[in-house]
Structure 1
């Protein structure tokens, strides 16, 4: 009788837990597809903007096109490597890797690609059981699942600014890539 109770309990908890893990695995799979499409579109935007327009900004207090591009990479690094991973966060004010400085268009695009690669690698290997873990995000309690969604929104926000900069320079942005 005791063995039957143990077996029944195991079957019950397995039947409840397995679908939850499968849903989280699906979330990661779908998120990675979206992130890869977001990368393709961002790189296409970056490649389309002429290098001599990389310092353009819409207003004195705005980021330049290049600063928006590298800010996306910096935030992706921070959200993935520091918030989801365990690496100590870089400090935006003192970081040099993600500052425009004397980087060429080609170097900036390579850095963005490298940052996407690292984020995708970390997310691919991420323990889906930790998606519900919470952390402090600017004073708000957020799950790691929410951190991934915030990262996607952040990329879209700054890429949108870059698209406006292209229009303000008389350029036609690349056609939008669906399923981001």
Structure 2
């Protein structure tokens, strides 16, 4: 008989603990949630810096580049990050989506895309900073399980990291050597 192992079970086995790992299931106090908001804001600003670095390296004439017809364009990678993340946050936290009615994304110049990214990152930072601790602590469905809402911010950042990584590959395919990584 083959037993399926999920991520949490595997991690427990690797570190030899029988209980829930703190990083996976720890309840956060109001103080810790405030610390999360501050920490996330710092990391989020660094993420903006790196996203702008990547966008800035692609020549304007290659914003519509994609390596196969079904792949997103370089511009589309970042537009998707904005639209998808805003939709997720707006729906999850029952807040207005500032990108709900925008539909001319594929016409953005490089300078306009950069400004949209700055506005988007500022909006997310405002959202995370204004949510009350009890809302951040609430458990809700995510990826077939439940997580506290504060963890959803990291899930969305991970999504952006994925698409930014795709954009880095696009740079290389266009002969651009990406600038170094910008970490926390």
Residues in 2 aligned to 1:113 and 1:32: alpha-carbon distance in whole angstroms = 14
What is the RMSD of the two structures over their aligned residues, measured on CA atoms?
Answer: 2.2
- Tell me the secondary structure at the aligned position of residue 106 of structure 2: coil
Aligned mate of 2:62, from 43, 53, 60: 53
SS in 2 for 1:60: coil
Q: Deviations over 1:135-177 (max 9, x none)?
A: 3446543321221111110110000000000011110112110
Is it true that 1:100 corresponds to 2:109 in the alignment? no
Which residue in the other structure is 2:171 paired with? 166
Q: Distance in 2 between matches of 1:43 and 1:89?
A: 20
Structure 1 pair 140–62 and aligned structure 2 pair: CA distance change class (3 A): farther
Q: Once the 2 structures are TM-superposed, how far is the Cα of residue 85 of structure 1 from its aligned partner? A: 4.4
Please give the per-residue CA displacement for 1:42-68, whole angstroms capped at 9, x wherever unaligned.
011111111111111122211000000
- Corresponding residue of 1:109: 114
Instruction: Using structure 2 for the length normalisation, give the TM-score.
Output: 0.76
Give, in whole Å, the separation in 1 of the partners of 2:171 and 2:125.
Answer: 28
Q: Does 1:82 align with 2:87?
A: no
Q: Any conservation in 1 of the 2:171–2:177 contact (CA below 8 Å)?
A: yes
Aligned to 2:11: none
Q: Secondary structure at the match of 1:101?
A: helix
Gapped runs of 5+ residues in structure 1? 1-18
Report the structure number with the largest CA radius of gyration.
Answer: 1
1:135 aligns to what SS in structure 2? Answer: strand
Q: State how many pairs are aligned.
A: 157
Report the CA distance shift for 1:128/1:99 in structure 2 as closer, same or farther (over 3 A). Answer: farther
What is the TM-score normalised by the length of structure 1?
0.78
Secondary structure in structure 1 of the residue aligned to 2:29:
helix
C-alpha separation in 2, matches of 1:126 and 1:85:
11
Q: For 1:136-151, what aligned pairs fall within 5 Å after superposition?
A: 136-137=141-142, 140-151=145-156
Match of 1:27 among 20, 25, 36: 36
The whole-number CA distance in structure 2 between the counterparts of 1:85 and 1:111 is 22
**Any stretches of 5+ residues in structure 2 without a counterpart?**
1-27
